[in-house]
Structure 1
Amino acid sequence: MFRLRKRVFRIFLISLLGCTPDKPANPAKPGPKTVQIEAETGILSGVEVTKSTAGFSGTGYVTGFDDATDKLTLTFEATAGLYELAIGYASPSGDKGVDFQVNDEKASGTLKQNTGFGLAKTGIFQLQPGQNTITIFRGWGYFSIDYLQLTPTTVALPAKPPKTLADPQATASTRALFAYLVDQYGSKVLSGQQDEVEYILEKTGKEPAIGAFDLIDYSPSRVQNGATPQRSSEACIAWARKGEGRGIVSLLWHWNAPTDLIDQAPDKLWWSGFYTKATTFDLATALADRNSERYQLLLRDIDTIAGELKKFQAVDIPVLWRPLHEASGGWFWWGAKGAGPFKELWKLLYDRLTNHHQLHNLIWVYTGTDSINPDWYPGDACVDVVGLDSYADPTATLSGNWANAQALFNGKKLVTLSETGNLPHPDKVRAFGSWWSWFSVWTGADYIKKQPVDQLKAVYTDKDVITRDELPNWRLSNPSGAKMATER
């Protein structure tokens, strides 16, 4: 009787609470799950399903990405959230670039050469609730797609590198600037602009924190042909020193080949002499014989540029020094003979400027293309910052580019967007955790002047983008991490 009363009371209590004894009152909603989509289930345009190579997933794979219009479209259901996209693929004939689109966002990645099938991580993307679409385009072509895998993920802040420069004799101001950059890394992005700093001021009422300029016209083979700098070193110094003198300078050098310029119309004239196509200068041959005329011309050119850099050191202006950029692309002569000669030239340049010329105001920025190929990296002993030069679609988040760089350099080097064809989107920087140390938009009508003015203003007034007027006296930053006496 007592047991019966207990049972009746329990049933009464359950009915009163409106639940059953075997189910929780508020069941948890299922979270995002890994999604795998077989390529052969998609809509094919100019491509085909085959089974000729063993080791594929599902019932086949898609190949035939040969023509510009070839593509594969995959539609699938997913729970809203951030996902890491990986592509199952085969690329037996070398590394291949792949272009793709996730819903409205365009992106690209690299499929490394492999035998059989492999998996390439291409970045983090925001999926919407319900139906989503991913389209694979030809890119470089001559690869096969097996499947797509989307894994739920979260983003993490980048680990800060040590506040230590490659040059142990770096000046106090140079060390302080680097310490300031490290302090901001992961929470703020410094604004930068190639050449057209005045345009930014005109359109936004603000100036970039970093003015990026080019020593191109100081190359002796350009001077010999009558070139004069559009913005002299003295003008760059004046920009940095005006007001409270807190402007940060970045310099690159489109190094016109020392000699052997083709100088023929239409696209090989002397002023294009930094391009591989416009010169027959052979870097590997020049480096092989230190007594040769061409090796001595390399030194002559380096010594000339050292003279310009000394002007900055003389007035205590550190320089974000970005020479020999985009070498792995092969389109500049310093990358035309492969990674070995390039790295030898980088180390020669570092030694000549740092030790021979005693230039200690340089923060050395190694720049890849839209990714970093570790085979081309000169080494930690002569690099302070790693940069990407990316001219991606305006919709791209660059999450894959960021992730690939972090896989190599997280906690070791600052990673920056050293050149970009489009303004970064601060909301996407926050959402995807891609906290570039700084960005610098390229100059001209096709780049900075093509950006919508309202977007330009939005970026330059964003709470996480540092402009020149927001720079502190970064010379007080302490490389040790402790406050300096003048700050207390």
Structure 2
Amino acid sequence: MGMICFINLKFGIILILFAMKNLLKIGSVLLLTGFMPALVFSIDNPRKPVTPKASPAAVALLDLFYNISGKYILTGQHNFPNIKDRNTKFAKEYTGETPVIFSTDWGFAKEDDKDSYLARPEIVKEAIRQNQLGSIITICWHAVPPTSKEPVTFQPVRGADPQKLASVQGQLTDQQFKDILTRGTPLYKSWCAQVDSVAGYLKKLQDAHVPVLWRPYHEMNGSWFWWGGRTGKYSTKALYLQIYDRLVKYHKLNNLVWVWSVDRPNKPEMQFSNFYPGNDYLDILALDVYGSDFKQDYYDSLDVLSKGKPLVLGEVGNPPALDILAKQPKWSYWVIWSGMVRNTLKKQHKILNSDPRILSQEDAAYRELVAPLRKVSGLEPLPEIKITREPVSFSGKWVFNEEKSTLDNFGAGNIADLISVVHDTNSVTVRKTYRQEDADDRTTEDILVPGEENKSGSDNFIQTTVIRMSENGDTLILDSKSTMRFGDQVFNQEGNEKWTLRDKGKELVIKQVSDYFRGKRNLSLVYDKE
């Protein structure tokens, strides 16, 4: 149900559109009804990008993250600059699902290195291609220190002149850093030339209507990169503001969504607030986490600082587990760093991907969420993707658990106490044992063939059952019709059962609905694997 509300404020009238959206995810299938919350418009719109006159695609991209905050988290994968989408392809192969976020870097290294800065023309082409395929693009930059020219190494070379830093990691002198922030100095001019070069490639993406989650000077509260860890007048924060001015005010780039990125504040001098440039210069706040160090204090501090702006995990070695996400619900995406997909086991990826909050490109919810962004970018809606998974097997011995089950006024009477199942591709053999209060146990056995009318019973009770597997292969469905005779009376009954497994296959849940001759029954029967 929608509601329109007008609120008179000092600075104008805000029109707020509220909507409700109900979602149900069964396996990998999402059933969607209603509408997602609409964009909130106002004279001073907090959802508006900090870039003046931001492109429609940048506006739609940021709006997507406001819409999913606290509801969904998008999967992501980083790719080294010189290998195109190799890491993303591996992630899909290993986890079974395609990451939404395509992450890359403008590079810094020599030719043929995985981090080569010479790959930038190909990075632009790949980013455009990924955007067309359905990915959301984020780019960071292991920037070269202005004391050197491209290419450089990642770490300082042993014996190198410390006054002429030629690596991404390492420290500049205080005077050098001051000169980078002082107009007219040689180092300032060198810095401008390097930024201007990258701006040219960002402009190509702008011309192609590709919005970019732009994450410059990441992990800025750490001291391992030449740009990081500086406070005071000539600070890392000042450098961030300088690149903002250069790209937005000088180059007039309007396709950037600004992602301010920090590392875990495990030292007092690394506190987020020491490096925060202010809400007018960032759209999204990002935290980099390695070693599964998802401390609640880190999340809470960033959340307070954000003042409602979206939170993301800019880089991770392992994605957060479900219990972490329950306590830290506002993360809107994660990006697994290159070469670290297998830090998380396949079964753990499967647990994450089966959660309805976690979206990959195969999920219907993501295709609907990204539709407005694709429309303003001049792209067609993403096609529906059907995922074919190997059907589960219900084979085993299953013991009725009355405490876990949901029964009706008839209690546990006529409920099988033990079910033995042999499930193969051609048939399902179901042997049920019923404990009798005044006689020996009663046992029935049915061999059910998918797609056929399977008949069972005796003269006074005849049942016809048709079984099938659900499209996504995780549910066994049994539809039955039966006829019962009591003397001259005849009763017809229809029933439906849906069998699913939970708790990693340790529990069988049978949802049973029937039009019983004594009334309707709606049961949830739980069986533990013996």
Per the TM superposition, whether the score is higher than 0.5 is yes
Stretches of structure 1 lacking an aligned partner (at least 5 in a row): 1-159, 479-485
Asked if 1:350 corresponds to 2:240, the answer is no
| Structure 1 pair 367–397 and aligned structure 2 pair: CA distance change class (3 A) | closer
Q: Which moved further from structure 2: 359-368 or 335-344?
A: 335-344
Q: Which residue of 1 aligns with 2:93?
A: 202
Q: Which has the higher strand share?
A: 2
- Corresponding residue for residue 46 of structure 2: 162
Take 2:285 and 2:148, find their aligned partners in 1: how far apart are those partners?
A: 31
Count the aligned residue pairs.
308
Q: In 1, distance between residues paired with 2:99 and 2:175?
A: 38
Distance in 2 (CA, whole Å) between partners of 1:417 and 1:325 is 12
Distance 1:229 1:281, change over 3 A: farther
CA distance in 2, matches of 1:267, 1:441: 34
1:186 aligns with 2:70: yes
- Is the 1:399–1:434 contact (alpha carbons within 8 Å) kept by the matching residues of 2? no
How has the CA–CA distance of structure 1 residues 464 and 289 changed in structure 2, closer, same or farther, with 3 Å as cutoff?
A: closer
Aligned to 2:61: 177
The one-letter code sitting in structure 1 at the alignment partner of 2:300 is: A
The CA deviation string for residues 332-384 of structure 1, in whole angstroms up to 9 with x for no partner, is 11125435422221111111111211110100010111145212111111111
- SS in structure 2 at match of 1:207: coil
1:380 equivalent among 255, 279, 290? 279
Residues 284-324 of structure 1 show CA distances to partners (whole Å, capped at 9, x for unaligned) of 33235311111101100110010111121111111000001
SS at match of 1:250: strand
Q: Per residue, is there more helix in 1 or in 2? A: 1
1:309 to 184, 187, 202: 202
Segment of structure 1 superposing worse, 262-271 or 331-340: 262-271
Partner Cα distance (2:263, 2:367) in 1: 31
The residue aligned with 2:346 is 453
User: Which amino acid letter does the alignment assign opposite residue 378 of structure 1?
Assistant: P
Answer whether contact 2:147 2:166 (CA < 8 A) is retained: no
C-alpha contact 1:166 1:381 (8 A) present in aligned 2:
yes
The equivalent residue for 1:399 is 296
Structure 2 CA distance, aligned partners of 1:272 and 1:240?
34
Report the residue type matching 2:140 in the other structure: L
Give the Å deviation of 1:407: 2.4
2:141 matches 1:253: yes
Paired residues for 1:103-182 under 5 Å = 162-182=46-66
In structure 2, what is the Cα distance between the partners aligned to 1:190 and 1:374? 27
Q: Determine the C-alpha separation between the residues in 2 that align with 1:284 and 1:391.
A: 28
- How far, CA to CA, are the matches of 2:246 and 2:94 in structure 1? 41
- Asked whether the equivalents of residues 327 and 335 of structure 1 are also in contact (C-alpha less than 8 Å), the reply is yes
CA-CA distance at 1:429 after TM superposition: 0.8
Aligned: 1:239 with 2:136: no
2:334 paired with 1:334: no
Instruction: Please state if 1:229 is matched with 2:119.
Output: yes
CA distance in 2, matches of 1:247, 1:173: 13
CA contact (8 A) 2:75 2:360 kept: yes
1:441 to 320, 328, 336: 336
Worse-superposed segment, 373-382 or 226-235: 226-235
* Matched-pair contact (CA < 8 Å) for 1:210–1:250: yes
Given the superposition, is the C-alpha separation of residues 260 and 168 from structure 1 closer, same or farther in structure 2, using an over 3 Å criterion? closer
Q: Residue 227 of structure 2 aligns to a residue in which SS? A: helix
Give the RMSD, CA atoms, in angstroms.
3.3
Q: Percent identity?
A: 26
- Rg (Cα) greater in structure: 2
Q: Is the 8 A contact 1:370 1:401 kept in 2?
A: yes
Shift of 1:282: 5.0
Among 251, 255, 260, the residue aligned to 1:361: 255
Check the 8 A contact 1:417/1:438 in 2, yes or no.
yes
3-state DSSP class of the match of 2:260? Answer: strand
CA 201–284 in structure 1, closer or farther in 2 if over 3 Å, else same: same
Q: Which residue of 2 aligns with 1:422?
A: 318
CA, structure 1 residues 332+465, in 2 after alignment: closer, same or farther (shift >3 Å)? same
The one-letter code matched in structure 2 to 1:468 is: Q
SS in 1 for 2:60: helix
Output the CA distance in 2 between the equivalents of 1:271 and 1:281: 13
TM, length-normalised to structure 1: 0.57
Structure 2: segments with no counterpart, 5+ residues = 1-39, 80-86, 266-270, 374-380, 382-530
2:214–2:257 Cα contact (<8 Å) kept: yes
Shift of 1:468: 1.8
